[in-house]
A and B are shown apart, each in its own frame.
Chain A
């Protein structure tokens, strides 16, 4: 190599090194000034430890950190150990402006839940900031980012590219769990600016055989509007989804967006016709409209999220179930959830209401038309280990069937919900139940839709007459009631159990009143007992009491009583009346004389049918009846029959 060339190269090298050193010293000296500029434009949320220049046109930033300005002092939620800015010398010399063409972020570590919260809370400012950026071409690359929900939680990785080119905006990337390479979530964004409005051409989120989401819309001022659709798989077994697949709406989406049939073979949930409008103001986010159809069932959400000291929430979600083909959900027509309260420090305090309307479907035999639950003084404590503790000052339950209304109240309700298992969720609860106690546990199977529920409940020592809202006949029962019951929702909703009432009485029961009046047995108006018990079943076909057992010194009762649809009764009962009791009746005395002294007590077996409030009655065959019939002539039988018809006004 010629000597002069070597000298020239050495000189050039010295020049570059000197220039680099001078520039790096300048960057070091002017760092406080740079910090001030950054503070101004980033609302004190962005800082860096050091900046270095490397020829020909790179600036390396060390220890860039992003802070949440909403917290005082601001807490770091993202750190970028190393960043590289590629800039243009030509732009710098010609226009005296530092024009960065590429930003590369290496190995950033981000607490994404805090980032989500900040983006949500500061959406308007961020949108204004993005709008205010100079429209220059730039590319931002994120390489091997580590994302975590919170400090110490499971990590996932992200690689992404964001390109601003003229008025156009592109971004794409891949999000994957660190320990599960088969999990990646790919996203792709395309948009462009029209003046200050961002038009979202498409936002796609895809995870192989798990998620396919496409949205489009725009950001105009404070208002974000978007439409779209989504297909989900999940581990859930949504029955009849194939039937939904064949629906016209899905076919249209498939054709419109050129999605091959076999690409949807994994799909179980179709969320179509997404239509959302969100209004971001400084203190709150209003959602006047979020509509979609989940498996062809309309879902609607309206609400308001207040930002400030925690999140305040006032939302109403309604879900129409008109088109679920699953028999167990066919009757659920509409469900609504209203939530009103404030979430702060992982505690939600407020009120909630759940309302479910059931179909008056002709082929649905079940009598339930409406179920309404309201929670007053509701507190939800969200623990870290997938546990939620629920407490409510008062829970009111109201239900209506075709012919009756039922209500019950709980006070001081407490429940623990364990959500750790992917599929099965456990709930344990206890509450004051009028002057007694209610406790129990439930298991929810979230692996199917609608949810399957299994529950066991125990009621202890409630005054029976306080339960007249559940069954009006309880108003005529005194005594302490205890019960054990089991509930399962699948294949059909069934509640079964036993019920015991201790040291009580039946007061003014219509049947006993009628018997007491007609046969002049006033003591039947109040039948005291040590213990009365029965098993019961509540299912789609009605309410039934089986194995009724009532024993008192003078009256015994055994049998079953079923109240079916349309309040129709089906019952067989055996009533035993002691000879001592019957001796008080002038009308029974002749009967006692006829049948002789061989019967210490008289047992009447009878069958009831017809309307609950207008029951038919038949005295069934028995030894007593036979003996009586043998003793009296037919015309007397007809006479008695006629008199009874007149007495209770049965005759047509």
Chain B
């Protein structure tokens, strides 16, 4: 217990020593991405969160919100994840990002048993893009998140599959 407290104290001290060095949103974002690339997702999250707090109108806000939502989902903090992705759904200008925001919201609605919300999200995902398959059988959309998650959505004529880092995350049949 004592060791854990010391570790957390050191972690916080390290973070604050780094964060004081970052002077603007661009620099904070770079620090966040750098940490994410190195696998320090906790540090990256703190930088992204700081962008949201200090620069709510920054061009990096959407990416930071996705990263925070992604982080919250990973630690099973579904309420905060819902808040992040909910804000992002209305604000995101990147269609691919929006698709994976919908994917997260769908999974959260499933966990929280919000059935009408789930139905609405299901419809939004199904009708996200109109598709034609004349010779091919599926269409893919890919996205790399600010936390360096590799996202993939595969649309078939009667189902959608979502993958994160190569693993099936969600499937919607219709």
Contacts and interface: CB of A to CB of B under 8 A. Distances in A.
Given A362-B116, A652-B141, A568 B133 contact: no
A237 to B, nearest CB: 30
Contact of B134 (A609, A640, A652): A640
Contact of A615 (B120, B122, B130, B158): B130
Interface in A601-652: 607, 609-611, 614-619, 629, 637-638, 640-641, 644-645, 648-650, 652
B31 to A, nearest CB: 32
Contact of B132 (A566, A637, A650): A650
Contact of B127 (A611, A640, A644): A611
Contacts of A566: 119-120, 122-123
B113 to A, nearest CB: 9
15 contacts: A565-B119, A568-B126, A570-B174, A609-B126, A610-B126, A611-B123, A618-B132, A637-B134, A640-B135, A641-B132, A641-B136, A644-B134, A648-B130, A649-B130, A650-B130
Given A652-B129, A652-B141, A609 B115 contact: no
Given A566-B120, A652-B129, 9 more contacts: A363-B115, A566-B119, A609-B126, A616-B157, A618-B133, A637-B135, A640-B135, A649-B130, A650-B129
Contacts of B115: 362-363
Contacts of A616: 130-133, 157
Interface in B84-133: 95, 114-116, 119-120, 122-123, 126-127, 129-133
Nearest to B136: A641
Nearest to B138: A618
B137 interface: yes
Contacts of A565: 119
Contacts of B130: 610, 614-616, 648-650
A571 to B, nearest CB: 10
Interface residues of B, number: 23
A610 B139 CA distance: 14
Contacts of B133: 616-619
Nearest to A643: B134
A611 B131 contact: no
A645 B174 contact: no
A629 B131 contact: no
Contact of A611 (B95, B120, B126): B126
Contacts of B120: 566
Interface in A421-446: none
Contacts of B137: 618
A173 interface: no
Nearest to A637: B135
Contact of B158 (A570, A619, A637, A648): A570
A133 B130 CA distance: 85
Interface in A103-136: none
Contacts of A618: 132-134, 137, 157
Contact of A645 (B116, B127, B132): B132
Interface in B123-165: 123, 126-127, 129-137, 141, 157-158
Q: Which 10 A-B pairs have the closest CB atoms?
A: A362-B115, A618-B133, A618-B157, A362-B116, A611-B127, A637-B135, A616-B131, A566-B123, A617-B132, A650-B130
A360 interface: yes
Output the residue of B123, B126, B127, B141 with the most chain A CB within 10 A.
B127
Output the residue of A363, A564, A617, A652 with the most chain B CB within 10 A.
A652
Contacts of A607: 157-158
Contact of A619 (B95, B122, B135): B135
Contacts of A652: 95, 129, 141
A127 to B, nearest CB: 54
A359 to B, nearest CB: 11
Contacts of A564: 174
B159 to A, nearest CB: 9
Overall SS of chain A's interface: mixed
Contact of B123 (A568, A644, A645, A648): A568
A568 B160 CA distance: 14
Contacts of B123: 566, 568, 611
A360 B116 contact: yes
Nearest to B128: A652
Nearest to A652: B129
A641 B132 CA distance: 8
B141 A609 contact: no
Contacts of B134: 618-619, 637, 640-641, 644
B123 to A, nearest CB: 4
B27 to A, nearest CB: 33
Nearest to A567: B123
A619 B123 CA distance: 23
Output the residue of A616, A619, A637, A648 with the most chain B CB within 10 A.
A616
A565 B122 CA distance: 11
Given A566-B119, A568-B126, A609 B174 contact: yes
Contacts of A362: 114-116
Contacts of B136: 641
Contacts of B132: 616-618, 641, 644-645, 648, 650
Contacts of B129: 650, 652
A611 to B, nearest CB: 4
Nearest to A608: B157
A609 B157 contact: yes
B158 A609 contact: yes
Nearest to B158: A609
Contacts of A360: 116
Output the residue of B122, B157, B158 with the most chain A CB within 10 A.
B157
A617 B133 CA distance: 6
B118 to A, nearest CB: 8
Interface in A23-69: none
Nearest to A636: B135
A568 B174 contact: yes
Interface string A318-336: 0000000000000000000
A611 B127 CA distance: 6
A609 B116 CA distance: 21
Contacts of A649: 130
Contacts of A644: 132, 134
Contacts of B158: 570, 607, 609
Contacts of A637: 134-135
A129 B158 CA distance: 79
Contacts of A611: 123, 126-127
A26 to B, nearest CB: 87
A120 B43 CA distance: 83
Contacts of A629: 135
A645 B133 CA distance: 9
A645 B129 CA distance: 11
Interface in A329-378: 360, 362-363
B138 to A, nearest CB: 10
Contacts of A648: 130, 132
A615 to B, nearest CB: 7
